[in-house]
Structure 1
């Protein structure tokens, strides 16, 4: 079978980015055929190399980290000390031979390295330049560095994560680094490439990671702006589904053995759970059939999605 040509074949990306948010996005482009050239050097490697998980027996090998390899496969690498006096001479040539230049430095680092879109667009008008600092390029917080572990609480995601009767628990990982930021930015670059194909003009894309993260809270922001109401933590619930949660399974307690990074942990009980999500009345009817249509499922106060939401506490007790 003839292999199909990848969509982004022939596109070169000069990738100054590191850690997660931008490298995940540039990997999307690399997987679709773009030539992504990532820059780092041994004395100052991408810090995601130091993150776990590492291959067994290779914990000190900077090339064996699972996260780094997951986010940077399909790419090429150029070992370049960006602070060396001759470095700019080298990366200038790479920038001017690339379709996309991608970096997620704070403005302070950009200024020291001389990586300014305004200078390069004069030499290459069709260049697509991506800036992805934490707080943008202007404003009182523009020099504030950071990534997902700071953006998640700063942007409000942590506050909304958890159960209403407990403190916030956060997202469990640097969610913005792996989902929101790279997703938004990859789509923006694809749009810029399409526009360049139509007009011959490049584009300067500035996406503050903080702004990208906050954008997914539009419902909570609108509710507060219009109704002066602060959205509470909802646990596993959704405003438009019921039942929607993680329910303890029926049965006797059981002993379990768990394997953790520090060894086995045993003796924990009640660890069987079932995740149920019902988004419509049709799905409700199917759910009732699956569990054998017990008498309580015929109660009129559970017959519609609106009624189930109004009686959700009782519904959860009945389901479990």
Structure 2
């Protein structure tokens, strides 16, 4: 296995925010790209590092865990350990500069000139307002790959629309297609799958552009509308609407591919559930055996998927009655052993402690810092056969790599660095006015 990573030697000038853009650059950084995150110490962005600069232990207990679920008091710099964003900061470098001022913009232009990729998912036109139009970037770096990740595209009826993952999911149709079968879309809680779909598509688009540049020497401008990538979550509904004029609704936990039974069933205990799916008639017969071959399950009409679909409500009720007094994990292992597709429904704590995830190398322990304790971190969810793609560097702290970027990457003199530090571009933390605004 080679020590050289797939994207070694590639540099990213990273303007991304929230989850979608930061996820895209996270994947690229995982594969070896040097990702330099441009951070402004005078601007507090609550959707990039932390919901608020004033989160304490009491507030952390009140907010949803994914926003501020700190196991202890988050300390004086909650932006360095926010559970909402810390994972997407792995394998990256952070430096500070106020790009709104001429001398700060000059620093950013220097970085763009020596970067292969410029990535952003900011509000439409933000880089243009700074003077970093596509044409300007290509003047600075003719073969640059520019990744734009707007919510709804840079042209069209929704151009001015701004949104987070929940809004993108809704516009794409997710809110209509998920949820219980007897509920309305307004009953659904927000999800943010669009962020991660957008991140994956953005990373793949950049890798395709790098391959194209290697062959032709030319860069590309990529417009990766996040709402379009979210459509891939439910292609069957989009195609049904386009071809047949049918508007699908939620099927709950049932299968859009016609597997019967397919659902989440109760197990013994409080709020314990198991997912069971018979993806073939053979799996159904295996489930019948696990049920103990009761007479109701051995009738000829249930032997085929079509027959089972006819009485799916009653079938689900029978299985739920049977599973409700079974231990979830014992049943999971028994069904798997019998050849039935099944799995336990785990909460976040159970998932973190799951022996299967541990055995597959999902976690990697990193030493404590003054901003977060020694804990297990998610590693990349994929492995390459020829290179060691992994969690190499812990999540970058705010301003952690100022010295590296200004001295080694940009090659500034000590006098220039001193001047930039005096002007507030090189900072160790957010400016008081940014913290007050947050």
TM superposition score category, shorter chain reference: 0.7 to 0.9
1:250-289 equivalence runs, <5 A: 270-289=270-289
Native 8 Å contact 1:242 1:309 kept in 2: yes
**Equivalent residue number for residue 193 of structure 2:** 175
TM-score for both structures, normalised by structure 2: 0.64
Instruction: Name the structure 1 match of 2:201.
Output: 184
| Residues 104-162 of structure 1 deviation map (CA, whole Å, 9 limit, x = unaligned) | 12223232112222232244332111001112112343222221122122221111111
Q: Does 1:208 align with 2:225?
A: yes
State how 1:1-320 maps to structure 2 within 5 Å. 4-47=3-46, 48-50=48-50, 51-58=67-74, 61-168=78-185, 169-170=187-188, 172-177=190-195, 179-240=196-257, 241-249=259-267, 270-320=270-320
Alignment check: 8 A CA contact 1:181 1:209 kept: yes
Structure 1 residue 64, shift from structure 2 partner: 1.5
Offset, 1:87: 2.0
CA displacement, residues 238-290 of structure 1 (integer Å, 9 cap, x when unaligned): 132111111123x6xx6xxxxxxxxxxxxxxx523221112112222222233
Tell me if structure 1 keeps the 8 A contact 2:288–2:298: no
Aligned 8 A contact 1:55 1:66 in 2: no
> 88-97 or 161-170: which moved more?
161-170
RMSD: 2.0
Runs of 4 or more above 3 Å deviation:
169-172
In the alignment, the residues of structure 1 paired with residue 136 and residue 152 of structure 2 have an alpha-carbon distance, to the nearest angstrom, of 22
Unaligned runs of 5+ in 1: 255-269
Deviations 1:146-189 (A, max 9, x none): 21122122221111111221122446431111x21111111111
Give the count of matched residue pairs. 300
Bigger shift: residues 65-74 or 218-227? 218-227
Conserved 8 A contact 2:16-2:120:
yes
Asked whether the 8 Å contact 2:98–2:105 carries over to 1, the reply is no
Shift of 1:215: 3.9
User: Secondary structure of the residue that 2:86 maps to in structure 1?
Assistant: helix
Q: Distance in 2 between matches of 1:119 and 1:88?
A: 12
Per-residue CA distance 1:195-241 (angstroms, 9 max, x = gap) = 11122111111011122223433321221222222101111011321
| SS at 1:276 equivalent | strand
Q: Tell me, which stretches of 5 or more residues in structure 2 are unaligned?
A: 51-66, 321-438
Question: Relative to structure 2, which stretch is displaced further, 80-89 or 30-39?
Answer: 80-89
Query: Which residue matches 1:265?
Result: none
Using a 3 Å threshold, how does the CA distance of structure 1 residues 279 and 293 change in structure 2: closer, same or farther? same
CA distance in 2, matches of 1:123, 1:271: 58
